[in-house]
Chains A and B, each alone.
Chain A
Amino acid sequence: MKILVPVKRVVDPYAKVRPLPDGSGLDLGNVKFEINPFDEIAVEEAVRQKEKDPSVEITVVSIGTAECEDQLRKALAIGADKAILIETTAVFDSPGIAGELAELAKELSPDIILMGKQATDDDCNQAAQMLAAKLDWPQATFASKVVLSGQSASVTRETDSGEETLQLPLPAVITSDLRLNEPRYIALPGIIKARSKPLDRRPAKTSPSPKTRIAFMETPAARSAGRKIANVDELLSALKERGAL
Chain B
Amino acid sequence: MSRLLLIAFQGHEAEQLSGFAQKLGLPYDVLSLDSKAALDLGADLVIQVALSDIPPADGLAKGLQPIVAPYSHIAAVSNMATKDVLARLAGLCDGSMVTDAVDLDSPTLFKRPMVAGSVIATVKVLALPVFLTVRPAGFPKPAKQGTSQTSQVSLVLKSKASRIDSTSRGGARPDLSQAKVVVSGGRPLKDAATFEQVIGGLADQLGGAVGATRAAVDSGIAPNELQVGQTGKIVAPDLYIAAGISGSTQHMAGIKDSKTIVAINKDPDAPIFEFADLGLVADLYQAIPELREKLGK
- Verify if A217 is at the interface (C-beta below 8 Å from B): yes
CA distance A164 to B161 in the complex (A): 12
**Contacts between the two chains (Cβ within 8 Å), count:** 248
Known: A123-B100, A159-B80, A236-B291. A129 touches B91 (CB 8 A): yes
Taking a contact as CB atoms under 8 Å apart, the answer to whether A226 and B97 are in contact is no
Chain A residues 61-85 with CB under 8 Å of chain B are: none
Taking a contact as CB atoms under 8 Å apart, the answer to whether A138 and B161 are in contact is yes
Question: Chain B: interface secondary structure?
Answer: mixed
Taking a contact as CB atoms under 8 Å apart, the answer to whether B91 and A123 are in contact is no
Which A residues are in CB contact (< 8 Å) with B99? 123-126
- Verify if A53 is at the interface (C-beta below 8 Å from B): no
Min Cβ gap A3→B in Å is: 18
Taking a contact as CB atoms under 8 Å apart, the answer to whether B278 and A141 are in contact is no
CA distance A144 to B165 in the complex (A): 14
Min Cβ gap A1→B in Å is: 18
CA distance A242 to B244 in the complex (A): 23
Which residue on B lies nearest to A19, using beta carbons? B119
Taking a contact as CB atoms under 8 Å apart, the answer to whether B230 and A133 are in contact is no
Taking a contact as CB atoms under 8 Å apart, the answer to whether A233 and B294 are in contact is yes
Residues 17-41 of A, flagged 1 when their CB comes within 8 A of B and 0 if not, give: 1110000001000000000000000
- Verify if A189 is at the interface (C-beta below 8 Å from B): no
Taking a contact as CB atoms under 8 Å apart, the answer to whether A220 and B120 are in contact is yes
Which B residues are in CB contact (< 8 Å) with A142? 80, 84
From B29-37, B55-63, B67-75, the one touching the partner chain is B55-63
Min Cβ gap A140→B in Å is: 7
Taking a contact as CB atoms under 8 Å apart, the answer to whether A242 and B277 are in contact is yes
Min Cβ gap B131→A in Å is: 9
Question: Chain A: interface secondary structure?
Answer: mixed
Known: A139-B161, A159-B80, A229-B280. A129 touches B225 (CB 8 A): no
Known: A167-B164, A211-B127, A236-B295. A139 touches B88 (CB 8 A): yes
Taking a contact as CB atoms under 8 Å apart, the answer to whether A239 and B239 are in contact is yes
Which residue on B lies nearest to A120, using beta carbons? B116
Min Cβ gap A219→B in Å is: 7
Tell me which of B61, B160, B274, B294 has the highest count of chain A C-beta atoms within 10 A of its own C-beta: B160
Taking a contact as CB atoms under 8 Å apart, the answer to whether A129 and B119 are in contact is no
CA distance A193 to B117 in the complex (A): 37
Interface residues of A, CB < 8 Å — how many? 77
Chain B residues 232-258 with CB under 8 Å of chain A are: 233, 238-239, 249, 256
Taking a contact as CB atoms under 8 Å apart, the answer to whether B119 and A167 are in contact is no
Min Cβ gap A93→B in Å is: 8
Taking a contact as CB atoms under 8 Å apart, the answer to whether B56 and A213 are in contact is no
Taking a contact as CB atoms under 8 Å apart, the answer to whether B162 and A232 are in contact is no
CA distance A182 to B120 in the complex (A): 30
Which B residues are in CB contact (< 8 Å) with A26? 115, 119
Which A residues are in CB contact (< 8 Å) with B225? 158-163
- Verify if B114 is at the interface (C-beta below 8 Å from A): yes
A158-B224, A213-B126 are known; give 4 further A-B pairs, CB within 8 A: A95-B90, A179-B218, A211-B125, A225-B275
| 18 A-B residue pairings within 8 Å (CB atoms) | A122-B114, A125-B87, A125-B99, A162-B223, A168-B160, A178-B231, A211-B96, A212-B126, A212-B127, A213-B124, A226-B276, A228-B281, A229-B280, A235-B262, A238-B278, A239-B239, A239-B260, A244-B259
Chain B residues with a Cβ under 8 A of chain A: 56-58, 61, 79-81, 83-85, 87-92, 94-100, 109, 113-127, 159-170, 177, 214, 218, 223-225, 230-231, 233, 238-239, 249, 256, 259-262, 268, 273-282, 287, 290-291, 294-295
